[in-house]
Amino acid sequence: MALASTEKVILGSIAFSIFWVLAVFPSVPFLPVGRTAGSLLGAMLMVIFRVVTPDQAYTAIDLPILGLLFGTMVVSVYLEKADMFKHLGKLLSWKSKGAHDLLLRICLISAISSALFTNDTSCVVLTEFVLKIATQHNLPPDPFLLALATSANIGSSATLIGNPQNLVIAAQSKISFGSFLVGILPAMVIGILVNALMLLCMYWKLLSIQKDKEDAASEGVDEEDMSSHPLLAATMSHCISLNLQERNSNFEPMDIQSPPATVNGDANHVESLRNRLTSNETSRYKRILWKSCVYLITIGMLISLLMGLNMSWTAITAALALVVLDFKDARPCLEKVSYSLLIFFCGMFITVNGFNGTEIPSTLSDWMEPHAKVNRASGIAVLAVVILVFSNIASNVPTVLLLGGPVAASAAAISAAEEKKSWLILAWVSSVAGNLSLLGSAANLIVCEQARCDPDRGYTLSFWNHLKFGVPSTIIVTAIGLILIS
């Protein structure tokens, strides 16, 4: 396919390049405005340079994707308010049998929560729990933070609401939620297991040494050391408090005749305490009932998605049902929605649409098509490498927007089954590609930034530590998943 006019190609490439630089490196010294502003800047330049008209720019914004993203974010906010993620955090350390068991739990919980509530949300709420548990058990944070980030990326591939690029695929491919889940789930499960085994192999010795040190320290501790250990000190203070309460309850005062006024005062005080306890008990039951309803609505949303109902309106309906159920001013909860992400998507849609108008992606697709047929093993390998490279250079969401249409059209020319397979391959590789480097996905950056900014347990996950595990893990997990999907 021929390129557009030279002027349109040059100006469109400039606008897209500015968007790409600010999306991948949001704090560049010459223009540190961030990803959201960079996305809007790219969109505005596409209009100013007349690569797209204002009407075409508005048309390029995909409202179903924005509606689905908004609905899932609101549902996640209310699930967090209902302590769902706190319960997930408690599961990480409940009856844990050591560091290796803890690592496997993190992989499992991160994958499941990411498939249901998006990988970015899971990383935001679980990083603090993971870092806290690692610090309390005197364990190195690196393997656990890697387990959280990499498992979140792999797990998010299983559903159409697991990550932003899958939301794009949901809108463009028209594949049903259940069909997509069945197609990707085996690859996701095996991928999580392989990723966890690779983490255990790489960090087994380090985790074993740290566990031995912890056990030796706990065996040799005496009474004087107990007060200095935060966990033991907290336990002792709790026990002392209970003992004092028990002694006070068993204490029998001398039989002294009290004045009637004092007796009446005590009776009023007891009645006040009884009313307060009754009120607290009622509030507790209301809270439990409200939480149960939040979980039921969320389950109902997932069932509706599996039944093939419109994904965008299903998510929005569930979000509004939770707002009404809360029966309070929704502004505090709605303010937690990442509107900057929604604006970023709007700008990205316009920018990518303008870049497509230059015909550069179509030309590259035409050149790649004969070598990337999804009905051949060699073609799948070439397509996977292209997606992997593009996802780490241009980020996974723009990669799906740029490659999705041409790849699906090429596969559709073979058969409908091959078209579906092409979308599954695109979803799988673009999701797992985020594990290649620290800059590969937003989930990685969220884990790194959350850990670094933690006020009590600040820790930096280095680019090299992520890379030396991410490269082999990404290659092996991607290859295994492609075999299962194909």
pLDDT of residue 264: 60
Strand (E) or helix (H) holding 50: none
- Higher pLDDT residue, 243 or 398? 398
Residue 253 scores a pLDDT above 60:
no
pLDDT greater than 60 at residue 259: no
Tell me the average pLDDT across 16-34.
83
DSSP string, 212-274: HHHHHHHHS--HHHHTTSHHHHHHHHHHHHHHHHHHHHH------PPPHHHHHHHHHHHHHHH
pLDDT score at 263: 52
Q: How confident is the model at residue 223 (pLDDT cuts 50, 70, 90)?
A: very low
- What's the mean pLDDT in 343-349? 92
Q: Is pLDDT of 457 > 70?
A: no
CA distance 239 to 324: 43
Q: Please give the C-alpha separations between residue 377 and each of 157, 374, 391, in angstroms, as whole numbers.
A: 21, 7, 21
Quote the mean pLDDT of the chain: 83
Give the 3-state DSSP-derived string for 333-345, with helices as H, strands as E and coil as C. Answer: HHCCCCHHHHHHH
For the stretch 362-397, what's the b/e string if a residue is b when 16 or more beta carbons lie within 10 angstroms of its beta carbon?
bebbeebbeebbbeeeebbebbbebbbebbbebbbb
Query: In the block, which residue shows the tokens 């890379």?
Result: 467
Give the pLDDT confidence of 272-328 residue by residue, as tens digits: 777 777 777 788 888 899 999 999 999 999 999 999 899 999 999 999 999 999 999
Q: What is the structure's pLDDT at 439?
A: 73
- Least confident span in 56-60, 225-229, 270-274, 334-338: 225-229
Burial 250-263 (b: 16+ CB within 10 A, else e): eeeeeeeeeeeeee
Contacts 24+ apart (CB under 8 A), 112-116: 112/155, 113/85, 113/88, 113/152, 113/155, 114/151, 114/152, 114/153, 114/155, 114/156, 114/162, 114/163, 114/443, 115/155, 115/156, 115/158, 115/159, 115/162, 115/188, 116/159, 116/161, 116/162, 116/302
Higher pLDDT, 260 or 314: 314
What's the pLDDT score for residue 366?
85
Answer yes or no: is pLDDT of 58 > 80.
yes
Full DSSP string of 365-380: HHHHGGG--TTSHHHH
Q: Kindly report whether the global pTM for this prediction surpasses the value 0.85.
A: no
pLDDT of residue 266 exceeding 70: no
Is a pLDDT exceeding 90 seen at residue 338? no
Structure confidence at residue 249 as a pLDDT band (50, 70, 90): very low
Please answer whether residues 295 and 301 qualify as being in contact, where contact means their C-beta atoms are separated by less than 8 angstroms.
no
Amino acid symbol at 179: S
Q: Put residue 401 in one of left, alpha, beta given phi > 0 → left and psi -120 to 50 → alpha.
A: alpha
Q: For the chain, first and last CA: distance in Å?
A: 29
> What values do phi and psi take at 120, rounded to 5?
-65, -45
pLDDT at 464: 86
Cα(397)–Cα(348) distance, integer angstroms: 9
Lowest mean pLDDT among 60-69, 78-87, 424-433, 447-456: 447-456
In sequence order, the 6+-apart residues with CB closer than 8 A to the CB of 80 are: 125
16: tokens are 């897209």
Range from 79-93, 199-213, 394-408, 467-481 carrying the lowest mean pLDDT:
199-213
Candidates 160, 164, 176, 94; CA nearest to 391 is 164
Q: What is the pLDDT of residue 210?
A: 55
Mean pLDDT is lowest, of 150-164, 181-195, 280-294, 323-337, for: 280-294
Residues 144-167 have a mean pLDDT of 94
pLDDT of residue 242 exceeding 50, the answer is: no
Q: Is the pLDDT of residue 239 over 80?
A: no
Element (H, E) at 95: none
